[in-house]
Amino acid sequence: MLFTKKNHLIGVDIGSRTVKVGEALQKEEGWVLRNFGMTDLPQGAIVEGRIKEPETVAEAIKGLTQKLKIKETNVATSISGYSVIIKKIVVGNMSDEELHENIQYEAEQYIPFDVQDVNIDFQILGTHESNPNQMNVMLVAAKAEVVDEYIELLEMADLSPRIIDVDVFALEKAFEQSYLPEENSVALVDIGANKLNVNIVKNNVSAFTRDVAVGGEEITLEIVNRLGCTFEEAEKIKLGKTPDKMPRQDLQDIIFSFVSSWCSEIRRVIDFYYSTYPNETIKRIILSGGAVKTEGFLKHLAAETSSEVEFLDPFRNLEINEKNHDKEYLTSVAPQAAICMGLASRRVDDK
């Protein structure tokens, strides 16, 4: 028997090059996959998290929801990048209501934006480890103009935005839904077309996050620069669809140079985490995003960090009707679907 759908939401992950839409329903014994699909966006429609061609993106979302025959209009989506600040702060003990009244004052000390220009949220994490009179709080601030852009975009697609999440927390939700609780620190790494997110989670709580402006599009643009071809042609070369356009060794050299750079960035984030928490060890890294299957990346990252590295599969604990879904396809796109399915498991009253 399915639980009531009054809090039911569709997950809509709006990336720089693709839109993903997912839907999962909750049963007494677990979750069921109802819908998942994705569609490409043209280059330049979204740049660094900002929507440059809202009509184009809205039509892509609308077309995908129609193709999937989705009737629900309430959705959860997420944002990331430099318009979002995530900070773990320490404040004196107070109630949720008291902190709500004082959060703007607390936020002013930690965010580089005018507090009048941001939307602020928080989550009380618990008592501070060394001072019982203080508590840890996760502070999140997002530029209001960016949030408004995404709200307007979804409304253009005939959808009703109910939750505007942050990529790293949607990814964390997908991880929680798909894997057993971990006492050790785990690094969740998501790499898309032009952004890399790292979220280090300990005891199912985010301990440290970092966004870096790198991603799979770097490889495509380097091919464009070398060959003078179009972006679309370079994408095909990168994916090995036109092997006659560039010698394989040249392509491998380009890919390796950027893969090495990504691994170095991730290693720097982990080293910074170790400097803050010297007694911690990250033995496991979970990968998601469209660029993480880039040739050689997983193996190189495992060697660079001395950690177990694997792809995140947000479908692994979902009941899947093979008459309605191609499991081979879902396995192939699983890392790309992680944020979307994390959003799809949100509910209207989620904090």
Separation of alpha carbons 116 and 100, rounded Å: 15
Sequence-ordered strand ranges (E) for 6-104: 10-14, 18-27, 30-40, 46-47, 50-51, 74-79, 84-92
What length does the chain have? Answer: 351
Which helix (DSSP H) or strand (DSSP E) does residue 305 occupy?
Answer: helix 297-305
The DSSP call for residue 294 is S
pLDDT of residue 4: 41
What residue type is 188 in one-letter code? L
Separation of alpha carbons 301 and 262, rounded Å: 9
- Who contacts 247 (Cβ-Cβ below 8 Å, separation ≥6)? none
pLDDT of residue 348: 78
Residues of the chain by 3-state class (helix, strand, coil), percent to 5 = 40, 30, 30
Read off φ and ψ for residue 182, nearest 5 degrees: -115, 125
Pairing status of strand 134-143 against strand 84-92: antiparallel
pLDDT of residue 6: 66
Strand partners, 123: 138
At 283, is the secondary structure helix, strand, or coil?
strand
User: For the whole model, what pTM was predicted?
Assistant: 0.91
Going from the first residue of the chain to its last (351 residues), give the mean pLDDT of each consecutive group of 10, the final group possibly shorter. 63 94 88 94 88 95 96 94 87 90 86 87 88 91 94 96 93 89 86 91 84 92 95 91 91 95 94 90 93 93 94 94 92 96 87 62
CA angle 143, 190, 311 (to 5 degrees): 155
Separation of alpha carbons 196 and 219, rounded Å: 14
CB of 37 closer than 8 Å to CB of 21? yes
pLDDT of residue 243: 86
Structure tokens at 10: 């569709």
Separation of alpha carbons 50 and 62, rounded Å: 19
pLDDT of residue 5: 58
